Structure 1
């Protein structure tokens, strides 16, 4: 959804390998999300809350 909203390819938001790591590690806070490779400070600020919300919705 974010990629469509921003009119960019999905891999610009997060690469597939980063999404796999997020799914495997199931972070519960921004601090846990921040240590996942591919999640830099900018992406953490911009997308972190939405990622955590999505994980919570499927938990």
Structure 2
């Protein structure tokens, strides 16, 4: 989130608020569609950031 925020010159909460990040950690989505069940992720943010965040989540789960 911070890397994206710095590149876009916006505060990190504009990318996703903390609550959204907490839900991502809790729910551990496995597909793009799963992200839509998370507070703060709608169609626009799914299209813009979904693949990036899902790839990071899946990579982390594979390491653990």
Which residue matches 1:56? 58
Q: For residues 10-50 of structure 1, what are the alpha-carbon distances to aligned partners after superposition, in whole Å with 9 as ceiling and x for unaligned?
A: 00000000100011000011110111111011100000000
Task: Give me the whole-angstrom Cα distance separating, in 1, the residues matched to 2:19 and 2:55.
Answer: 20
Supply the RMSD in Å over aligned alpha carbons: 0.6
Q: Provide runs of 4+ in structure 1 moved above 4 Å.
A: none
Please tell me whether Structure 1 or Structure 2 has the larger radius of gyration of its CA atoms: 2
Number of residue pairs aligned between Structure 1 and Structure 2: 59
| Structure 1 gaps, min length 5 | none
